[in-house]
Structure 1
Amino acid sequence: MGDFRARDADRDRAVETIEAAYVDGQLGDADRELRVSRALSAETLDELTGLTRDLQGAAAHEVVRPAPLSPAQLHAVASDRRPARTGLVVAGVVAAVVGVLALVPLVFLSTGNSDWTSSTGIDAPAVSSQAAAAEPASFEMTPGQVRRFLRAYEKRFGTLEAFEVGFFPQRVGVQVPVRGARPRMERWTWDGDWRQDTTAAAVRGPSQRVDAGAIDVRRLFANIEVAEQGLDVEEGRFTHALLVRWNGEPTELNIYVGNELGESGYLSTTPAGEVQRRHPYAP
């Protein structure tokens, strides 16, 4: 039996493992680049496992494979798929209907929900708010998710250029260029899906286009740690990062940290991750 096909989520987990191994010194530059490239193009789970098997901490990102069926389970599945006799089918349908009708009063009494009524007049239970709250966020500020955003942006707009890109813990905000003779842009948000926030408008101020594809994702996250620890912000945590360019100056990737007391600072870097200036908290 062939290996299982890899999903985008599997590839992202593998890339995160490789990046973490690179940051803590397990991999050199060339090895890291080769493994990331192969992980992003991997088609099967075996390929991803082979790229991370020898890395410390890889178990935390291990790909979960579907468990194979036992012979008894295979026999049961095969039996379920055999055509049944007409009499047995009718009997089964009747029994199912009787069972459902018997459960309706119990469902109605236990939920007490009368906001939705079907064509039969039977009240349906509401969706559990706890179950809805348990759903994971679609975007989190991780290396794999940032790469996913860059792929989605290029696919959606056919470019990696923007007037500004803002990375936040659970979303990305982009000023997307609009084609035309004059500089215009639309504001879009990515949180796992695209949402257009504004229609086309004139670009205000001296901002110029930036290339999001120039961001070194690994060094971005390394610099986030530097900013959190080296800007004199007590218990400072990453708040956002802005990719911007002003008045013909070089493009900047500014990383901001803050705390609950309103204290903040930022680290100014190039898109490639070279630190240009530090702006620590100043009372």
Structure 2
Amino acid sequence: MARPYPPSTRATDTDRSAVLALLDGAFTDGQLDAAEHDLRADLLADARTLGDLAALVEDLQDATPPRPTTSIPTGSTPADPATRARRFLLGTVVAAVAAAIAAFWFVGREDAPAEAAPATATVDDVTALPPLVVATPDLLTAQGFAQFVEDHRAKFGDTVVDDLTIWDTYAMFTRAMPQQPNREIEYSYNYGFAPAYDPTTRSLDTPTLDLADVDQVALARLLADAPSMLNVPAGEIAHISVDPADRSGPASIRVVMTNEFSESGSLVASLAGEVLRTWPYGQ
């Protein structure tokens, strides 16, 4: 008598091909749109176990979780699998798909007024999220930061990230994949959200940060005071980063100023706006 392999069993290329066929079918019958299909197809490259593959199709109608082409005879031990490191999508193809996803998500729509933002709920599967195209403000202002936080909440259902760096017109941030805390994705934010790179391994003890904890009134004051504190001649704020608490200190905001001569200064403050340390230009 035979029994099926457990979800932790390493997947074969045949198993991945079967899941890709299910994704293609789901796109054809309208269960997935183009962006959702492409993102899940990208994730196949990093799917190492039958459980990883099942997670990509478990919410689809008539989707049978992937099963191995063989089974384990009762009382026996499966033989060592041969190397199966061939990926479905080479780096250049992944880059092209990422660009296609970005183009799909960035297709313009008229800017909706802020008060018309839809109610949000906790999201279980990032690959099932609908596209969200938003107008990007000047992010290096307290108002721009506030809009980013609300857009993030509308897209993902929460305001939790591993890290965040923002420039004037775009931002980059990393967050864990839903229901897979050992995987992370880095996203870009520029007139919408899009994955910037393939998912990668994430340590289970990676610290996180809730952007809702940033005191936005204090942030506005901090940005207004930064020029006088950092003393960068004709300087402008280059970027802001927000990092979670770790062994080196509490959760913090870093503001960096620079000018056309690459002269720079920076400061670090708490999420409540208390200045913890400054590095003025020339000192």
**Given the two structures, how large is their TM-score scaled by the length of structure 2?**
0.48
Larger RCO (CA within 8 A; separation ≥ 6) = 2
- Relative to its length, the structure with more helix (as a share) is 1
